[in-house]
């Protein structure tokens, strides 16, 4: 959610902060602000509601002095409306010498605020964050040592937070603390950085350290100290960021989403790279944390995720059950741990999150580990909390995904799910070697097939433009097409702000057919005709049923399917593939349809209203 940047070093801190905040815009935000400490020791703050350009305009009108230390923030409102006053940074103490930024929610802010009010503290915002600023300022006045004061306060805070602090009286240090919210350190030459993720500083350095749970960072230009909230020193583990700043730029595309849709052949290829041999055999060395006995003893898999990632899990469920014969259930992370689920040491939890910082998913996996289960993460972000806290991780290697609405992360997650299905099938000897290798070779073809889809999307684009005035769109699918129908509906809701629903086509007669009226647009994911047990005839019957009631049908079907063309107004064809793997192809026209419809309405496809890229609070 909120974007956080911290810097200390020889460069202009304002330039570093604004550049980092610009690269963090994808996280979603409603206000922005910065604080710097000038060489003379004067703290200066500027903040504005709205987009980053509003803040830049404010700084242009009221310039800041050159400085070499500072903190910056983009806020996604939780406590208090998105106003100038509620924007971060927040100042603490009667002399306002301390500046604080915060990502997350302080759950016990109400009682802490009451304590401060009783002491006569005056508040300038409605936020929970300002409470922490005043507490730390008061504690510093008592102790005279900023790290001590900082540690004393963060131990009192409940909830999820990343907090950064600077103070006029100690103008060479940025303090940071992390609990249940992401924080990464960037290591430079005579300079150091902090960020919500590596995008904040990747322009300046690729050397990074992930900050662990309940850890404090003391950051100076020439040193980094990490300790626990209790003061125990932490030995940092450095990693190298495997992409550069240019990967997070539009590169000439009209939007980040358009670029990321076009990135999908590479995202799928990179997810497969090194994991599928040319003969189709699977190699997943990353999950050595799961032994052969662990795999044989799995009696159930629970996949936990939110939003688009949950639909990737729904697709993977079909493949894992078919190829490994392990029962799989898919759970929304935010529901999972609150219903007292049955989890044992033989349950494998597969947690899927692009950012690896989705709070609901993190809390679900922590609960599962407490019950003795093994956790396997599917994640796109190096050093993410989910990856570090899991027993094993499959990185999707899709590169930075900046647009809030997920595209290439989804197809990479689906690809990773298929790899896992084949790996488990082989490990449990449920697949003959020839069948396993044949499936692997089919999966190796997917990047080329994705390229073919992307090169033939003119009809999907035109339909999106033509339907800009649609008030509602329904999506139907069966088997692996069902989660793709739900994902298509989600994309339209996210981007175009219109009613859209995805249904299992077989459920149509059990209620949803009542929604069909003259002119109702319905997009149908049509299964292949080529399988012996194909559901194709049943879906064709569904199309006939809704056509008879006036629906306007758009079909997404396999190349060569001439039958569906007899019943649908429009058919978007995708290449023939192994039918289990078809979701990687059929979802792409739905992404483009939503993109074009939203663009035709004049909406911001990269930053839809009210949404954040990484949801780091429950």
Catalytic positions are 2, 613
What's the CA gap between 326 and 384, in Å, rounded? 28
What's the CA gap between 605 and 599, in Å, rounded? 7
The 3 state secondary structure assigned to 449-464 is HHHHHHCCCHHHHHHH
Q: How many residues does the chain have?
A: 618
- What six digits make up the tokens of 549? 């009631």
- φ and ψ at 305, to 5 degrees? -170, 175
H-type helices in 76-124, by residue range? 109-118
Q: Cα angle vertex 422, ends 310, 531, to 5°?
A: 85
Q: Please name every residue paired with 105 in a beta bridge, in sequence order, or none if there are none.
A: 160
What's the CA gap between 463 and 5, in Å, rounded? 41
Residue 579: name the closest of 465, 480, 451 by CA: 480
Sheet holding 472-477, edge to edge: 499-504, 472-477, 521-525, 552-558, 570-574
Instruction: Compute CA 128 distance to the chain's CA centroid, rounded to the nearest angstrom.
Output: 24
What's the CA gap between 293 and 297, in Å, rounded? 6
What's the CA gap between 323 and 432, in Å, rounded? 10
Strands of 535-612, DSSP E: 552-558, 570-574
Under DSSP, is residue 590 helix (H, G, I), strand (E, B) or coil? Answer: helix
Q: Say if residue 330 is exposed, middle or buried (CB neighbours under 10 Å; 0-12, 13-18, 19+).
A: buried
Sheet holding 43-49, edge to edge: 43-49, 31-37, 69-75, 3-8, 192-195, 184-187, 207-210, 238-240
Other residues' Cβ atoms within 10 Å of the Cβ of residue 493: 17
- What six digits make up the tokens of 511? 């209620």
What's the CA gap between 487 and 599, in Å, rounded? 19
What's the CA gap between 350 and 426, in Å, rounded? 18
Q: 290-300 b/e with 16+ CB inside 10 Å = b?
A: beeebbeebeb
- What six digits make up the tokens of 186? 């960037």
Largest CA distance in the chain: 80
Residues near 252 by beta carbon (within 8 Å), at least 6 away in sequence? none
Residues near 92 by beta carbon (within 8 Å), at least 6 away in sequence? 98, 99, 100, 130, 132, 133, 134, 135, 136, 137, 138
| End-to-end Cα, the chain, rounded Å | 11
């Amino acid at each position: 959610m909120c974007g956080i940047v911290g810097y200390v070093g020889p460069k202009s801190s304002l330039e570093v902060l604004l550049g980092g905040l610009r690269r963090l815009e994808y996280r979603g935000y409603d206000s922005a602000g910065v604080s710097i400490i000038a060489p003379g020791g004067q703290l200066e703050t500027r903040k504005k509601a709205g987009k980053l350009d509003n803040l830049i305009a404010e700084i242009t009108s009221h310039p800041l002095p050159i400085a070499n230390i500072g903190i910056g923030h983009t806020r996604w409102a939780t406590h208090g409306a998105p106003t100038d006053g509620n924007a971060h940074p927040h100042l603490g103490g009667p002399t306002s010498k301390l500046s604080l930024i915060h990502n997350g929610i302080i759950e016990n802010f109400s009682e802490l605020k009451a304590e401060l009010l009783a002491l006569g503290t005056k508040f300038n915002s409605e936020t929970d964050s300002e409470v922490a600023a005043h507490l730390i300022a008061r504690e510093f006045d008592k102790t005279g040592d900023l790290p001590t004061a900082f540690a004393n306060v963060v131990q009192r805070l409940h909830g999820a937070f990343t907090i950064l602090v600077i103070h006029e009286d100690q103008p060479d240090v940025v303090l940071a603390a992390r609990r249940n919210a992401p924080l990464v350190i960037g290591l430079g030459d005579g300079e150091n950085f902090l960020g919500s993720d590596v995008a904040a500083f990747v322009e300046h350095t690729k050397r990074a350290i992930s900050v662990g749970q309940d850890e404090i960072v003391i950051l100076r230009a020439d040193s980094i100290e990490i300790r626990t909230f209790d003061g125990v020193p932490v030995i940092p583990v450095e990693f190298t960021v495997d992409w550069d700043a240019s990967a997070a730029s539009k590169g000439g595309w009209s939007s980040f989403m358009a670029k990321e849709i076009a990135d999908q052949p590479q995202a799928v290829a990179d997810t497969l790279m090194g994991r599928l041999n040319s003969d189709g055999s699977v190699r997943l060395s990353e999950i050595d944390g799961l032994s052969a006995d662990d795999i044989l003893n799995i009696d159930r898999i629970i996949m936990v995720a939110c939003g688009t990632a949950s639909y990737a899990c729904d697709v993977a469920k079909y493949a894992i059950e078919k190829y490994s014969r392990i029962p799989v259930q898919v759970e929304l992370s935010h529901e999972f741990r609150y219903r007292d689920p049955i989890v044992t040491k033989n349950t494998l939890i597969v947690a899927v999150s692009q950012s690896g910082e989705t709070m609901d998913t993190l809390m679900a996996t922590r609960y599962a580990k407490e019950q003795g289960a093994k956790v396997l993460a599917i994640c796109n972000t190096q050093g993410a909390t989910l990856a570090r806290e899991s027993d094993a991780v499959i990185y999707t290697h899709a590169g930075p995904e900046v647009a809030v609405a997920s595209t290439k992360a989804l197809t990479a997650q689906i690809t990773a799910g298929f790899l896992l299905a084949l790996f488990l099938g082989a490990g449990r000897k449920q697949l003959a070697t020839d069948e396993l290798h044949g499936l692997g070779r089919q999966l190796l073809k997917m990047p080329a097939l994705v390229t073919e889809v992307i090169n033939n999307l003119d009809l999907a684009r035109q339909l999106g433009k033509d339907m800009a005035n649609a008030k509602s769109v329904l999506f139907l699918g069966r088997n692996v097409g069902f989660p793709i129908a739900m994902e298509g509906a989600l994309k339209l809701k996210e981007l175009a702000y219109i009613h859209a629903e995805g249904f299992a086509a077989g459920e149509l007669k059990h209620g949803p057919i009542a929604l069909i009226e003259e002119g109702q647009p319905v997009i149908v994911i049509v299964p292949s005709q080529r399988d012996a047990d194909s559901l194709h005839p049943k879906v064709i019957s569904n199309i006939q049923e809704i056509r008879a009631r006036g629906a306007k049908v758009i079909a997404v079907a396999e190349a060569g399917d001439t039958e569906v063309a007899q019943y649908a107004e429009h058919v978007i064809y995708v290449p023939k593939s192994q039918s289990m793997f078809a979701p990687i192809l059929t979802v792409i026209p739905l992404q483009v349809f939503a993109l074009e419809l939203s663009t035709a309405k004049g909406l911001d496809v990269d930053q839809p209203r009210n949404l954040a890229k990484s949801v780091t609070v429950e």
